[in-house]
Amino acid sequence: MGLKHIGLLPHYGIFKNEPMIFADLTVMASYGIVFISTIFLTAYFVTYLSRKLYQKHEEIRRLYALSERLRSSIRLTEVIEIIEKELCGFASACHCTYMPLDKERRVLVFNNKSASGGEEINIPLLDRNSFTEAIMKGCAMSIDQRTLTSEYEASVLKALGIKRALALPIMAASLRPCYEYFNCTDTECAAYGKEAGRCWQVASTHCKGRVMRNIIEKLDACLACELFTPVGLYVLDTSREHMPLEEFDINACMRLLDASGLAVSNALLYEKTMELSKTDGLTGLKNHREFKEAFSAEILRAKRYQRPVSLLMMDIDYFKNYNDAHGHPQGDILLKKLAELMKENLKDTDVVARYGGEEFAILLLETAKDQAEQIAERLRNMIEWCRFPKETTQPDGKLTVSIGLGAFPDDGDTAEQVLHAADEALYKAKEAGRNRVVSA
């Protein structure tokens, strides 16, 4: 039967005189090819669209699962681990490494946990490489062993044992634009009017009255600013042959990280709140409660491992006279300067706290009593000869301190006993004329 009679091709003139057969087999073949090609193209597009639909469905499912898991934690380390696992599963990658940003040292820190001894690589933010570009620009960066731009990239890939990687930055949720946040009216600032909220990426800004022409000039100020949202970045392994980079939906990975921004912000806020609850608001030292907890824990540890611990109780001589002469704001300046001096001249492992008012407590870990006495005398002498603002109004014409020393196990077997011994020694130092160290 001809195609005309079944209604498939009624409008073509070639069937006018040949109702039952084709006059030209070439035409028939051409139409057959078109028909088959249409079927194959339709199948291809259906498959393509089905795959894309599945990927979008998977992305939505991952985002939902991520939000549910993030709801159960508010600690930053746990939030970072949850995001890392979801990101690794979403991208079908066998390995994902998190590199935190150390704002104080201005470096990205890579810790290779698989290496013996825990290899650490510090990547300076001022170095131009894919890692720093990713975190400062807030975008994904591909890293390939064949096109490396920095020795840090080579070191990280070598440490991970991979050939290709993807650097994905993780950021806290963006706050309002800087000009709104600080109520800035400087219209000449390059960041004024920009809604993106990432002013650290903009050159020639007028940050709090200071003109900063480039990122190198403004880096320290940006890192200390509460609007600086980068926290770290993930290094995703993309070196498997059966899973080339093109298969990754990088934008979907970035959307996954963007969705985590609020959880990261909440975790950072929680950490900051916890830190504030443990520190003295004026000096930045540990407060009385945190010190007592740390002291009790260290005494228990010292008992277990048979190690000495020493305690210094230090009081500023005639501090009330200083406050009466110059006012409490000036007294606060003095306390902050003294706190900075102690932090700079004691070990990082030593615990320094503002015990109350003008009294400070210093916990010297794994330090015997005779060594602690030398440290206390050196500290007292340093403070005596250090110049403090308006100290000439003090009775001796300079600022001095008195220090009482107690130690475990020499002066007690518990934290309370050692503290009482150091406090009694401080009282004796005051009674003996001040500006001296007295051991229990």
pTM, to two decimals:
0.65
Strand partners, 232: 100, 170
Q: Are 220 and 208 in contact (CB under 8 A)?
A: no
Which uninterrupted H or E stretch holds 56? helix 25-70
Q: What pLDDT, on a 0 to 100 scale, did the predictor assign at position 246?
A: 52
Please choose, from the candidates 60, 140, 83, the residue with its C-alpha nearest in 3D space to the C-alpha of residue 267.
83
Query: What does each of the 440 residues of the chain score in pLDDT, given as a tens digit?
Result: 444 444 444 444 544 555 544 456 677 777 778 888 888 888 888 888 887 787 777 767 777 777 777 777 888 888 888 888 888 877 777 788 899 999 888 899 998 766 555 678 999 988 889 999 998 888 889 888 888 888 999 999 988 888 888 899 998 887 678 888 888 888 888 888 877 667 888 878 887 777 776 777 788 888 888 888 899 999 988 876 545 455 556 777 888 888 888 888 888 888 888 888 888 988 989 999 999 999 999 999 999 999 999 999 999 999 999 999 999 999 999 999 999 999 888 888 899 999 988 999 999 999 999 999 999 999 999 999 988 888 888 888 899 999 999 999 999 889 999 999 999 999 999 999 999 999 98
Give CA torsion, residues 83, 89, 92, 95, to 10 deg.
Answer: 60
Amino acid at 34: V
DSSP symbol at 61: H
Which token pair is 437?
A: 């160290």
Which token pair is 368?
A: 């015997």
Phi/psi at 134 (5° precision)? -65, -45
